[in-house]
Structure formats: C-alpha cells, structure tokens
Amino acid sequence: MADDLTVSWSDAIARAEAHAPFLRRMMEMRPDLVSDIRAGKLDAAMQRALALQPSTIDEAGMANLVIARQLRLARGDMMLALALGDLAGALSFQQVARALSDFADVCLQSALESIFARRYDCAPTGFAVIALGKLGGHELNYSSDIDPIFLFDPETMPSRRKETPHDAAQRVGRELIALLSERDGDGHVFRVDMRLRPESEVSPMVLPIRSAISHYESRALTWERAAFIRSRQAAGCETLGQYFLQEIQPFVWRRSLDFGTIDAIGELTRRIRAHHKGEQLPAPGFNLKTGRGGIREIEFFAQSQQLVHGGRNPELRSGNTLEALAALATEQIIAGDQAEALSQSYVKLRTIEHRLQMVEDRQTHSLPEDMPALNNVAQLHGLADSEVLIQQLRSVCSMASTHYDDLLVRQGVATGADPDEDEGVSLFSDEEPVLIAELSDMGFADPKSIAGRLADWRSGKVKALRTPQSRAAFENQIGALFAAIREEQGDVDAINRLDSMLQQLPSVLDLFHLLAARPALIGILARLLCHAPALSKALAMRASLIDGIVDASIFDRQDDLAAIIAELEQRDGCDDLGLMLERVATDIAERRFAIGVQLIEGRTDPLDAALDYSRIAEATIAVVTDRVTQEFVQQHGQVPGGELVILAMGRLGGEALTHASDLDLVYLFTGAHDARSDGPKPLSGTQYFNRLAQRVSAGLSLPTATGPLYEVDTRLRPSGMQGLLAASMESFWDYQRKKAWTWEHMALCRARPVYGSQQARNGLSHGIAGLLGSGRVAEAIAKDALAMRGDMAKAKPPKGPWDAKLAGGALVDLEFCIHTQQLIHGQGLSPHLGQALAMLVDHKLLSPDLIEAHNFLTRLLVMSRLVTPQDNSPAEASRPLVAQACGMTQWDEVTEHYQYYTDIVRAARIAILGAIPTLDHG
C-alpha cells in the first residue's frame, strides 16, 4: 500500500514538473511542502493552508506578515497541495472543489476582519458577502473567479467621521476586492467578479440590503433566479446574510410549476450555441464550459429542473450540481441512469477543465488549438496523447448533449443554433410627417434631421442596407436602438455616430441579428454611442469590435502582464514587421476598447481600469521593442555589452493611464557609447541605440484607422528636446546628479523601468531610489515646486470646473505634494502615487484624508477622459455614469465630494508649497 502511494505521488509530481509550469514554480518555491506531501501528509498541508499558515514562513515570521501576503502565500500552498492530490488520485473532484471553496470563504472572512479591524477597530458587522456561482455551490474551479454580492445594513454598518454608512460600505467593498485580486510577485488570492449583483450596470458595488431585497421581489430576471440556486452566506455578518437569503426565498423558489423557466434557459442555450459555431464535438479549441454538451449545459439541465420543481420540494434546492442531479433522481424527476451519466460527464469535464487551468493558473475553459499544448494537457492528466483525450471528451459531450436536448424538446423548446429569422416589420413610419412626429414623441430635439438620416438608410445609400434581408433585420431593431439612445439622453450626435458605423459595415445582418439575439447589447451600444466618443469612433472605424461584447471575456481584467505579452506574441507569426505591428495594433485596440466598455457599463473600478490600460501599454512596449530589435539586429548586429532600456514616466510610470494618455518614455542604453556593433552595417553605440529608439517609437506610434496606436512623448529625457533620443546610462546619471532641475527629479519620482534585462532594470531602479532617497533642503524644494506649479497653472489652466487633473486642489496639486515630500524626506519612494501616498501617510508626512482624495480624483479623471475628453465637464446625460464610476448614485454626491477633496488637497498644497493666485483666488 505504501509503495503504491509512493509511486502515485512520484508520478503526480513528475507530471506536474513536466507539464504544468505553474505547479513547477510552486514546487521550486516550496520544497518542504512537496516533501510533506510525498510523505503522505497531504491532509496536514491542506489544513495549514486553510489556517492561513504559509509553509514558507516560520512562526517568528508570522507575527510580521501582512494579511495580503499571508493570503497569497497560503493560496499558493493550497493550490499546490490540491493539484498534487488531484493528479495522484488522492483527492476526488468533489474534494478538490470543496476545499477550494472553503479556502475562498476563509480568505474572504480573514480579509474582511483585517479591513474592519484597521478601519473601525471591530469585527465585521453590518456587511455580508453572499456567494453565488461555483463558489456558492462549493464547486469552485482550480483557477476560478469568485462571484459574490456585497450587502450592507445602514443601521449597523460602522463608519468614520464625515463618512456615511453607504460610503463606508463602498470603501470596504473596494478594499476587499483589491486585497483579494491585486497581483504581485506572490501571485493573487482570487479574482472577484461582481457582475451577478442586481443591475450591475448601474448599482453600487455594495448594496443596501433593503434595496437588494426589493429588486428580487419586483424586477429580477430568470437568470437571476437560476443564479440564486447556488447562493449562500460566505463571509461577514452571518445574521445579515442569512436574513437576506431567507427574505428572497419566495423569489427563487416559486410554489407554482414554472416551465417558462425552461423556455428561457432554452433560449439562452440557443444563443450560446449560435455564438460558438466551431466544432460541435470536442476538438482542438473546443470550449468545455460553453460548448455543446459541455459544463454549462449540464448545470442548466439541473438548474432548470430545480427551478420548476424546487418550489414545492425543498429536497431539490442544493446549490451543488452533483448533489442536485442526485436529488432529482431520488425524487424521480429524472431517471437514475440519466443522473449518473450526467454526473460522470460533469466530473470528467470539470477535471479536464482543472488540468487546463493547472498549466499556468489561468482561468481558461478551452482546449488548446496548438497540438503540442493539447498533448501537454493530455499527458498532465496521465493520458498518452491528445487523441485519447479528445475521444474521451467526445463520448462525454455527445451523451450530455443528447440528454440536454431531450429535456428541451420535451418542453417544446427549439435547440438549433440558426433558427429562421422572422421577416422584419418596420417600427417607424415610411411617411415623413408621421416619422417626424414619432421621433418628436420619443424626445429627439431635431426629429426632422434624424428622419432624413433614416430616409437615407432606407433608400439604399448605405451599402450594408441594400438587401431585403439586411433591411428586415435593420427595421426589426432600429426602433429599440433609438429608444435606448433616447433613454440615455442621446440625440443627433449619437445618431451621427451610428451612421458612421453603418457606413463602414459590409453587412448589417450580423450586427442586427446579434442585437435581436442579445437585447442587452442594444443598451450597451446605445451607451457607447451616447457617452463615449472615443469608443464610438473606434466602432465606426472597426465595427467588428461590437462582436467582442458578445463574449463575456470582454469584462475580464487585463492586469496579467505576462499573459498579455504571451497573447500578443502569438500575433507575431509572420516575417513582415509591418504586418506584425498591424496585428498587435488590432489586438491592443480590442483590449483598450474592452476596458472602455467596462467603464461605461460600470463593470470595473476606474482605478483598476487605469492599471489595466497601463499593463496593456507595457505589454505593447515589450512585444514591439523585441520585434523591432530583432529586425534591427539583422542589419546592424549587436553592441557588445549594450542593451536598450526603457524608462516609463508620468502616468505610465505610475501604472495609472487613462484612455487618452500618452506614453512618456525615456530611452537609455548600457555599455560604452563609442563601442561598435558587430553586424553587416556597424554603428557606434550612440548611433545604434538612437536609431533603434526611433524605430521603437515609430512602431508604438503606428497609424491605425482610429489614430496612432499610442502617442509617444519623449520630452522628459535628459535635456529635453535638445538632448539625444537615447542616452547612455553614464550620461543619464551624470545629468541627473549635476544638471537636472528640481522638476526633473520630481518627474523621476514616477519613473519605472519597463523594458530591458532584469539586471539593467534592477540597477536603474536602485540608482533612482538612491538619487531620490538622499533628501534635500526643504525650503529650496518647496520654493522650486511652488514656482513650477504656478508656471503650469498659467501654461495649462483647467479645462473646466471638473478638471480632476489641473484644477486647484486636483491631482496635479496632489502630485506636487507627494513629490515634494518624497524629495525633501527621501521617503515614500514608489512610482505608484497611491502607494507613495500611503507610505508618506505612514511616515506622518501627509494627511490620511489625501488617500481618499487621490482615489476619488483618479476615478473622476479616468472616467472623464473617456466620456468628455475635450473639456472634462461631463454632459448632463453622462453624469450618472461618472457618478457610478466614483462609487456614488447621484451627481450631487460627486460635486460635494469634489469640493470636499479638492479643498483638502488645496490646503495640503498651500501648507507644503504655498498659495497660487490663479488657483486659490476666493
């Protein structure tokens, strides 16, 4: 028995090392944990991880371990233990999924306790976390998001002075998400997906409990009922959570038999199948979750029967899919052999899903299209090759699909992916006077002009609308789209943007069929047309971007730098540099568009969006520079001992880009400036790296249909525009030590190396820290900073009353406060403003109130740059979106907070630097 166990562990560890880079890295960092597991101490290892006692930290180190690192390290232990136990056959799928879910609960609770203890010096009260999705069903994926709903009770939620319970709850919610999802060298804990909360497009992150109950009692949808089958109280105030779940029981479990639920789920199935038109059976690229006969169809099978019968039979209400299938069989709702077959299929699909995710700890559900990668997954599972794996999956999915289709057919639900379309019926009159009256009744300010536009579309002037099928699809949806535009207070500008988009489309069939199949997309498209000029322009130039909204992945974070780089490098499958750059530009446009959609839809915190914009830019720099350098080396060879190093400054340096941000870059190079390259056309070091830098800038500034890929600004280099584009490290340091002005050292406070070898980056970062950390004469620095801020106020006055960057008391003032204190005291030396500010607060060099001011003003800036890029004064119709992005419900709250926080920042700047007449009058 012991020998068999030893062989099992040895084989599992060998497969993990050979086929799962993530697990291999985890094992290399945790040799003692691997030894324990190999010795049969798996359960003890799991219990230590569940107790948040990382294997890499001794007892003495635990006392000084911050909660974020403690959770991340414990997560690494748990993931490694579960993976090896799974691969060795020591743990069943159910045990793995339950352990992951239990660990997520512990992390949620521990994180909440830490936040409440620090903010309010009490245990979590008045705040509850409701788990939905796979976490709610105790069947979490190996690399899954968690899907919670956050609730608070205004009567029991603690708050600070000048903080309402609502504000307190939102701050706790945002901090909880950040603590769990932010990634560093130890990885992350869990990605948090808040899209299952009620009306997530407009609702605050944390919901008042009465508002949430009211939603589910009055206007919730079928899919929300299905979501709450897998709901439970996971963390926070148990009394509050259980009260909420008890109150919404009548919404989830209706006493009357509700076969309309199956119709709704059948329609959802048809749409899913319609938008996944690849292989009908498993093959390379097959999606185990959404493919035919996949995980989702088995879950829908169980959930539909639970919703139909669970109101009368409480035995059917388990949130766990396997338990639900067993209960349905026990209660004779489905046949026992059917339940057993579906359960076996579910376990097989989920197990292979776990194998996919073990490779690199990525939340993926699709089989690799690349055959070596698919073979790797099969061998990780212990199979000979991908052919065996595909055959097993085909058998599983074929059987599951048959059972699922039989269920829908019995209820009279169509299951095909391409049903015949109904003939279009015009929702608007063809007679001009009547049409103008209809448009006027809808609230359009210039109905005559818009009627003329509609007449042009109907006349065939737009190529995409010339066929009867196109016109029918168009007429079926245009009324709903116009109504959605008016609901967003859009008018002629939005219609003109729609016209620009239609003019570019080769056909409107896909677009309007898509809107018919996914009515929610009508609202999204209307919001983009009404509130996001940059995104509307992108759609007009590349209407195919709308296709991405169908895929829920458009709402995924873009914060994994390594993953973005890897995905961009996949675009580099051609010899032609220009073609490669065009492909990268297309990919980047899609990613930046996705973040813009997330902001407009309220699916992401603008602070997260700023980070994601930055990660995308940094990945672009890495991939473009690598490829440009490869081609450059073919012509000119390499400079011995030399390499290009890129230093990001400004908002990119601080990882806080907006949709409209430039890239502030400084090009540096190592090695001797007069060394010669060794290629066919040799150059001196200075010539070599300056020409290379020019080409990199050109690649990053590649013209696209919607403008340059990025605007590159290199004016922060030594000596500015008069200096060489690329400076040697030696000359850079000589300049910084002997010639640089105070403002240049202030700019250096947000400098961050983003390209070059790790050794070169580390050396550059160390040198910057040493230069800035030496401390300076307070009076001189404050005097220089005041003069610079005054000059900036004259040269760049605020663009409007809501200029969150340039107005008095806005972000530039806060930056001056932070950088001045950094230079004077040599403390808080992080390029990230938020981190630097927190460090300076810890050293009692700045007020804690400035942290909330920074977060509020940054959110306002990021959103303003998207909805009103010209003057930073949100239009009346766009103000609710901006308020939502700032964590508020009303524009009046935004104005109050803006005044409050700018007063705080202005007071701090006056105290540190002094007053500036143009900013501080009155």
What DSSP character marks residue 526?
Answer: H
Q: Are residues 323 and 401 in the same domain?
A: yes
Cα dist from 104 to 93, 109, 234, 313, whole Å = 17, 9, 9, 30
Burial 511-540 (b: 16+ CB within 10 A, else e): bbbbbbeeeebbbbbbbbbbbbbbbbbbbb
The count of domains in the chain is 5
- Write down the pLDDT at residue 553: 65
Q: pLDDT value at position 460? A: 81
Could you read off the pLDDT of 544-563 as tens digits, one per residue? 677 667 555 678 888 899 99
Instruction: Please determine, for residue 847, whether its predicted confidence score (pLDDT) is greater than 80.
Output: yes
Residue 472 CB partners (closer than 8 Å, separation 6+): 421, 423, 424
For residue 33, tell me if it sits in a domain. Answer: no
Domain termination site, one of 410, 443, 467: 410
Half-sphere exposure for 331 (CA within 13 Å, toward CB): 18
pLDDT mean over 698-703: 90
- Residue 80 · residue 33 · CB < 8 Å: yes
What CATH number is associated with residue 630? Answer: 3.30.460.10
Q: State residue 186 phi and psi, 5-degree precision.
A: -90, 5
State whether 245 and 270 are in the same domain: no
Which of 252, 270, 305 terminates a domain? The answer is 252
Is 786 found in the same domain as 756?
no
Is 858 inside a domain boundary?
yes
Q: CA-CA distances (angstroms) from residue 82 to 101, 403, 590, 657? A: 12, 32, 36, 38
Across 885-908, average pLDDT: 94
Q: Using DSSP, state whether 87 is helix, strand or coil.
A: helix
- Residue carrying the six token digits 């749409």: 271
Give the percent of the chain with pLDDT over 90: 64
Residues 827, 755 share a domain: no
pLDDT at position 421: 38
Judge whether 163 lies within some domain: yes
- For the segment 202-229, the average pLDDT, to the nearest whole number, is 82
10 Å CB burial of residue 411 (0-12, 13-18, 19+) is middle
Shared-domain flag, residues 619 and 767: yes
Look up residue 404 and give its DSSP letter. H
Do residue 445 and residue 405 come from a single domain?
no
Of 490, 657, 662, the closest CA to residue 558 belongs to 657
Torsion, Cα 544 547 548 551, to 10 degrees, reads -170
Helix residue ranges per DSSP H, 637-728: 650-653, 685-700
How confident is the prediction for the chain on average, in pLDDT?
Answer: 88
Same domain, 761 and 614: yes
* Cβ count near 855 (within 10 Å): 20
- Rounded to an integer, the average pLDDT of 488-507 is 86
**Distance between CA atoms of 159 and 119, rounded to whole angstroms?**
8
Q: What single-letter amino acid sits at 722? A: Q
Assess contact for 116 and 158: CB atoms under 8 A: yes
pLDDT of residue 775: 77
Amino acid at 249: Q
pLDDT at residue 774 in the model: 83
Whether 658 and 545 map to the same domain: the answer is no
Quick one: DSSP state of residue 368? P
Model confidence pLDDT, tens digit, residues 85-141: 999 999 999 999 999 999 999 999 999 999 999 999 999 999 999 999 999 999 999
Residue 538 has pLDDT above 80, yes or no: yes
Band the pLDDT of 574: cuts 50, 70, 90: low
Which pLDDT belongs to residue 72? Answer: 95
- pLDDT tens digits along 732-744: 999 999 999 999 9
In a domain, 91, yes or no: no
All residues at 6 or more sequence positions from 802 whose CB lies less than 8 Å from its CB, including other chains: 860, 864, 872, 873, 874, 898
Asked whether residue 47 is domain-assigned, the answer is no
* pLDDT tens readout for residues 657-678: 999 899 999 999 999 988 999 9
pLDDT exceeds 90 at position 722? no
Q: Of 354, 378, 410, which marks where a domain is finished?
A: 410
In a domain, 557, yes or no: no
- For 766-794, write each residue's pLDDT tens digit: 999 999 998 788 899 999 999 999 999 99
846 in the same domain as 763? no
Query: Quick one: pLDDT at residue 4?
Result: 40
pLDDT beyond 90 at 312? no
Distance from C-alpha of 286 to C-alpha of 480, rounded to nearest angstrom? 34
* Whether the model pTM is above 0.75: no
Whether the predicted pLDDT of 155 surpasses 60:
yes
Evaluate whether residue 426 is within a structural domain: no
From CA 215, how far away is CA 227, in angstroms rounded?
A: 14
pLDDT in tens, 242-294: 999 998 888 888 754 444 455 555 555 665 555 455 456 899 999 999 888 99
- Domain with residue 309: its CATH number is 1.20.120.330
- pLDDT per position as a tens digit, 395-424: 999 998 888 877 765 544 444 434 333 333
Choose among 20, 31, 3, 7: nearest CA to 83.
20
pLDDT confidence of 219, banded at 50, 70, 90? Answer: low
Q: Quickly tell me which residue has 């968690």 as its tokens.
A: 146
Together in a domain, 615 and 758? yes
652 and 758 share one domain: yes
261: left (phi over 0), alpha (psi -120 to 50) or beta: alpha
What's the pLDDT tens digit per position in 283-299? 999 999 988 899 988 99
Element (H or E) spanning 753, and its range?
strand 752-755
User: Looking at the domain assignment, is residue 581 inside a domain?
Assistant: no
Q: What is the residue range of 533's domain?
A: 432-550
User: Quick one: 765 and 813 in the same domain?
Assistant: no
Q: How far apart are CA 124 and CA 397, in angstroms?
A: 44
Report the relative pairing of strands 147-152 and 206-208 from DSSP bridges.
parallel
pLDDT number for residue 706: 57
